[in-house]
Amino acid sequence: MFSGVLDVMVMLAILVVLVVIHEFGHFATARLFKVRVHEFGIGFPPRARVLARDQETVYTLNWLPLGGFVRLEGEEGDSRDPRSFVRQPLVKRVVILLAGVVMNILLAFVLLWAIAAFADPTVGVKFASIPADPSGQLSPAQQAGLVPMTRIGEKNGFPEFDEKSGDTIIAVDGQRFSWFDAPAGLPDGILRYL
């Protein structure tokens, strides 16, 4: 049960981050174009507390953590204020509306760049042991000369033990096996290189 609650909390946290970044795009472009912004809210009302204030904007934290919002002057089309959203030229209104999506795209690029820059580029995983095949057929690992229960303790030359049940060896020392070389009933799981 705790795992399910934790999963929901993580999902809500990710959702809030995505929405806050999206809404920040609307907020920043509205401020850039001198549109009056009444409120920048994290979560949905009822209001839990005011985080900060500046000359015209209230920054709030709200009780329903399902997103966020930016409240612009005249966004409902009934304001005569020259700084209202509805009084802006069409191009500025479109840019303000698209800025949220652009921020989400930028976030995706930043996250993908961070993964590419800092993640482990290696794909291969070596098993700590190679079990015998009960059907008597040779597995790809056995075809490569590895015998059942051989201990392998490194990945790409570094000591590491990150194997898991269901992983399947499809290459040994860079020599790849074709699907025709592998026995018919390969277990489900992630294909791994040795």
- Do 138 and 193 lie in one domain? The reply is yes
Token couple for 153: 């303790």
- Do 8 and 93 lie in one domain? The reply is yes
- Do 43 and 111 lie in one domain? The reply is yes
Distance (Å, whole) CA 164 – CA 136? 22
Distance (Å, whole) CA 103 – CA 27? 11
Give me the sheet containing 175-176, strands edge to edge.
Answer: 175-176, 168-172, 191-193
Which class for 28: exposed (0-12), middle (13-18), buried (19 or more C-beta within 10 A)?
A: middle
Task: Write down which residue in 118, 147, 172 finishes a domain.
Answer: 118
- Do 148 and 98 lie in one domain? The reply is no
- Do 160 and 95 lie in one domain? The reply is no
The model carries a pTM of 0.61
- Do 134 and 113 lie in one domain? The reply is no
Q: What is the pLDDT of residue 181?
A: 41
Q: What is the pLDDT along the chain (194 residues), one digit of tens a residue?
A: 567 888 888 888 898 899 999 999 999 999 999 999 999 999 999 999 999 999 999 999 999 888 899 999 998 878 889 999 999 999 999 999 999 999 999 999 999 999 888 876 554 444 444 555 667 676 666 666 665 544 555 555 554 445 444 445 555 545 554 444 444 444 444 444 44
Range of the domain at 153: 121-194
Q: What is the pLDDT of residue 126?
A: 46
Kind and range of the H or E run holding 48: strand 37-53
- Do 132 and 100 lie in one domain? The reply is no
**Structural domains of the chain, count:** 2
Q: What is the pLDDT of residue 125?
A: 44
Task: Write down which residue in 102, 118, 134 finishes a domain.
Answer: 118
- Do 135 and 54 lie in one domain? The reply is no
Q: Which residues are catalytic?
A: 23
- Do 75 and 95 lie in one domain? The reply is yes
- Do 78 and 14 lie in one domain? The reply is yes
Q: What is the pLDDT of residue 141?
A: 63
β-bridge partners, 9: none
- Do 102 and 131 lie in one domain? The reply is no
Q: What is the pLDDT of residue 157?
A: 55
Task: Write down which residue in 95, 118, 141 finishes a domain.
Answer: 118
154-155 vs 158-159, strand pairing mode:
antiparallel
